[in-house]
Amino acid sequence: MAGKAAKGTNRLENDIFKCRDESNWKKIQELAEQLMQRGTGPQSEAMASFFIGESKLEQFLEEHPPTEANINKAKTGLTEAKRYLNNCFTEHGAKEIVEMKSVKVGYTKYRWHRTRHLTVKRTRCGAFLVPLAGVMTDGHFLLAKLLYAQGFYEEAITHLDSGGIDRLEEKTLSNRILKILAESFAIKGLCLEKVPLKTTSKTKAANREDQIVSYFVQASDLALKYLQEVEKSQGTVGGVVPTGTAVGTVATVAASSSPLPPNTEYRIGTVLESVLQRAPLLMIKSGKLRQAIDQYRNVLRAEETSSTQSLRQTMSRQLAEVLLRGVCETNYIDYEPRIEIKKQGKHWRPNKYSGQSLFMPKTEYEEVLLLLFISEAMAVRNAVLDRSPEFQDARIHSYNNVVAVYDLLVFVLARLGQFQTLCESFERAMKFSFEEYHVWMQFSLSLLSSGKHLRATLMLKECARLQPHNSFPCLLAAKVCLENLGNIEQGVEFAEEALNREKRNPQSLLAQCHLVLGVGYALMAEQRRPQSKRAEFKASAFQCFLRAQSADPYFHLPEYHLALHYAEVRQLSKAVSHAKRALELNPEHVHTLHLLALLLSAQKQHGEALQLINATLDEYPNYLNLMYTKAHLEDYCLGPEEALLTSKQMLLQWKTFYESELKSDFAQTGLQRVTSCNRGSFHVRSGDFSDRESGQSIAAAARVEQALSEALQTGAGPLAQLQAQTGTAGGGPATGPREKRGSQTLWLLQLQVWLLIAELYLKMEQLSEAEACILEASNIYPLSHQLMVMKGLLHEMRKEYYDAKTCFQNAVSINPLHVTALQHLGLVYHYLGSSQLAEKTLRDAVAIDPMCHQSWFNMGKVLQETGDFDSATDCLNTAIQLEMTTPILPFSTVPRTLE
């Protein structure tokens, strides 16, 4: 009977040790109670008490983690567990175990078990030959954990010291003992944090901090080692269960169709999770940033387990934040694992990834982006998509994790100009961002920065729907429509909606709303005919600018647009006054400086205007619009030879832009940042191109030109015939358009420079040089309406009126609002004897821009030839009056900017 009882006891003990490694505490409690009933002596009862106390402690802490909020619950709920654990330290229990040390082993049949780093022999009768440190040490460590949960920190430290936590020898341990040790080191550090020092010595305080950090680091290593060993024993690698393996709950979770992210059976608990993250934070707090970064790297380099995936995501983001906030490129030290010192013994340290194929970042941004992409991949994979109420908390938690990563990605990638990569990241975020304004707005801004304005407008429209009281999305969409898309009507609609929202819910954007709406009305005025409709929109724009000025008297842009309005109606003194006020508010606003130079030239102070342009170019040497105006002022003041030198400088500057663009993956953004003008190429025109083209009409004409030019390059039949009809300026065939790399904006800039040089050569009557410049421009966009105008001017100087007429007609076909083409087309009609057609064409030019003196002058010449002397006199008198206030370049050269 005694043999059968011993055999049953052995089976129970084996099951208990197995369940301990699996953390199956309910089963352990049942088996321990059976062991106590079948106990063969006091030592068996002591062991059973230990197992029951351990199971009760762990079950309670699973439901009530050891936090300050649960201290009162722990004081009442852990009483029974504490009583069972204290039984291990009673005088009777300790005496029985100590007496077993003197028993001689005389049996041939025995088993070896590993309960700790110490060996336990079990005799045939079932008696334990356990050194006192065996169960006693485990009991001390578990009692310390219990006392920490109850808030008795000093008593917990006493038990940890009694268990010899600082004297343990590193050896191979079972999974359960690994976790007990990890928690013991963590609790020792946490208790030292809670217990105040009894001295004010700074040295002892620093030593205490170092001691706490060392305990946390040791606990972190043991925790990671424990999780790796658990997965290894269950046949999983990196949290993946091999095919055909049934691993209880792990396999069940892997095959679950739950909308929640996969969970793992083996959790290290809140104590170890907090310690893993607190160790580097304490190092940072004590000023040891380098050691903190190394600790982060060591944790992240440990072989991944399913239980550490969430931790890896969090610590990847935290390390990225530390590198961004505390490290600069000059003091960054890359990670070199090959120089690590290999200490003896690896039983308590986690396995780490190693090999020649690992990617090692060499710069700060490489490491930050690697960390953020790793964190993003994990966050997106674990995002909760189910919108059911029961998953709301989990969904919010996972969403906040992803948003934190994306905010950091925005910060880094925007600094590097990698907006396309940022857009791709937000594409992945869309699947779990339903009705989330923050992500939609970030995505919209990324699309804007990458040049995808149309899609950005759709995103902003959705943002406006998500927050019906927020005026910012509508305001930003209006700016995009006006500045980038040329969709003036929709831009005005967005601006009106933004203004209505701002009036209902003020957000300090009232001046901005009035300003954007005023710019929209001003652009609509340039597109409207007849004159009465145009005057109506101009008056509305003027009122909006006044309201913007009243809403924010210290905002420079309303002053700038008021100055531009007064300049266009030739009230120069008021325009100069508002321009100077705008410069007082913002002395570095380049468009106001440009406008002031044009106002000086309109007052016939060309020398002062040239001085102002030169002074502005000293501050903005790369701004091509200023150089363009400088060339025309030099042509007027110093002659075309001096202007040619400035034009050559413009070509050199263009070359610099082009080379920098080819080196960048996102060149257009960089170009806009350098030149400080989104629409500069569409506003650079020659002095005779005094047209009233709006951004919409010019952008549309440019798109038509590009499409026609590309079609011509492919050899399309009708287009090839058109090119053959127009020919080059000298009548020969044009060279085929070269294959262009780079943005359309950049090539349009070069086109304008070549046309400027051709215009200067025409003034110098060097027709062959002008023809060569026109040929260069033809290689860029052979069907540009501005290029056709320049060809027509060359034919007109050669008195080849039929060819000139064809060129001007082609230009008007592409852009019906091009005033210069209409002016010269009317003259050519007059030269060819079609006076009525000439008069009609010139009247169209006057209707488009009634402030252009050249149109009135040309119409006066035509009416004089037809014998209508009274009308001719009125036209010529109007031309004289307008010429007295005409600038060197039309005021429309200055953009209606919103920046």
Q: Is residue 610 part of a domain?
A: no
Of the chain, the percentage scoring pLDDT greater than 90 comes to 35
Q: Is residue 786 part of a domain?
A: yes
Please, are residues 209 and 274 in contact by the beta-carbon 8 Å criterion? Answer: no
Q: Is residue 11 part of a domain?
A: yes
Cα four-point dihedral sign 280, 283, 284, 285: positive
Q: Let me know whether 376 and 421 are in one domain.
A: no
Q: Let me know whether 292 and 400 are in one domain.
A: no
Over range 303-313, report the average pLDDT.
83
Q: Is residue 565 part of a domain?
A: no
Strand partners of residue 113: 120
pLDDT-derived band at 731 (thresholds 50, 70, 90) equals: very low
Helices (H), 38-131: 42-63, 71-77, 79-86, 91-99
Provide the pLDDT for residue 471. 94
Tell me how long the chain is.
Answer: 899
Q: Is residue 294 part of a domain?
A: yes
Q: Let me know whether 209 and 350 are in one domain.
A: yes
Q: Let me know whether 334 and 418 are in one domain.
A: no
457 vs 171: which has the higher pLDDT: 457
Provide the pLDDT for residue 190. 92
Q: Let me know whether 156 and 272 are in one domain.
A: no
Q: Let me know whether 644 and 691 are in one domain.
A: yes
Q: Let me know whether 125 and 223 are in one domain.
A: no
- Say what the pTM is: 0.76
Q: Which amino acid is at 406?
A: Y
Provide the pLDDT for residue 688. 34
Question: Rounded to 5 degrees, what angle do the CA atoms 752, 755, 756 make?
Answer: 85
Over range 182-205, report the average pLDDT.
88
Provide the pLDDT for residue 595. 95
pLDDT at 67 over 70: yes
Residues in CB range of 36: below 8 A, 6 or more apart: 44, 45, 48, 49, 52
pLDDT at 397 over 60: yes
**What is the spatial distance between Cα 631 and Cα 618, in angstroms, rounded to a whole number?**
15
Q: Is residue 811 part of a domain?
A: yes
Provide the pLDDT for residue 753. 92
Range of the domain at 454: 388-468
Mean of all residue pLDDT scores within the chain: 79
Please, are residues 658 and 675 in contact by the beta-carbon 8 Å criterion? Answer: no
29 vs 524: which has the higher pLDDT: 524
Q: 810: domain CATH number? A: 1.25.40.10
Please, are residues 863 and 838 in contact by the beta-carbon 8 Å criterion? Answer: no
DSSP one-letter code for 382:
T
Of the chain, the percentage scoring pLDDT greater than 70 comes to 79
Cα four-point dihedral sign 611, 613, 614, 620: positive
pLDDT digits (tens, 9 = 90+) for 836-861: 899 999 999 998 888 899 999 999 99
Lookup result for tokens 């049996």: 107
Over range 739-757, report the average pLDDT.
82
pLDDT at 897 over 80: yes
Please, are residues 29 and 49 in contact by the beta-carbon 8 Å criterion? Answer: no
Q: Which of 416, 450, 468 is the last residue of a domain?
A: 468
Q: Which of 363, 382, 401 is the last residue of a domain?
A: 382
Please, are residues 264 and 306 in contact by the beta-carbon 8 Å criterion? Answer: yes
Over range 782-804, report the average pLDDT.
91
Q: Let me know whether 320 and 433 are in one domain.
A: no
Q: Is residue 84 part of a domain?
A: yes
242 vs 571: which has the higher pLDDT: 571
DSSP one-letter code for 151:
T
Q: Let me know whether 694 and 786 are in one domain.
A: yes
* E strand spans, 761-892: none
pLDDT at 250 over 70: no
Please, are residues 488 and 527 in contact by the beta-carbon 8 Å criterion? Answer: yes
Please, are residues 159 and 105 in contact by the beta-carbon 8 Å criterion? Answer: no
pLDDT digits (tens, 9 = 90+) for 878-891: 999 988 999 999 99
Number of domains in the chain: 4
Determine which of 121-125, 608-612, 718-722, 878-882 has the lowest per-residue pLDDT on average: 121-125
By three-state DSSP, how is residue 342 classified?
Answer: coil
pLDDT at 775 over 70: yes
Determine which of 345-359, 499-513, 727-741 has the lowest per-residue pLDDT on average: 727-741
Q: Let me know whether 160 and 194 are in one domain.
A: no
C-alpha dist (Å) from residue 633 to 312, 416, 594, 607, 628: 64, 39, 12, 8, 9
pLDDT digits (tens, 9 = 90+) for 451-506: 899 999 999 999 999 999 999 999 999 999 999 888 999 999 999 999 999 999 99
Q: 422: domain CATH number? A: 1.25.40
Q: Which of 382, 412, 441 is the last residue of a domain?
A: 382
Q: Is residue 248 part of a domain?
A: no
Q: Let me know whether 344 and 196 are in one domain.
A: yes
Q: Let me know whether 75 and 121 are in one domain.
A: yes
Provide the pLDDT for residue 692. 39
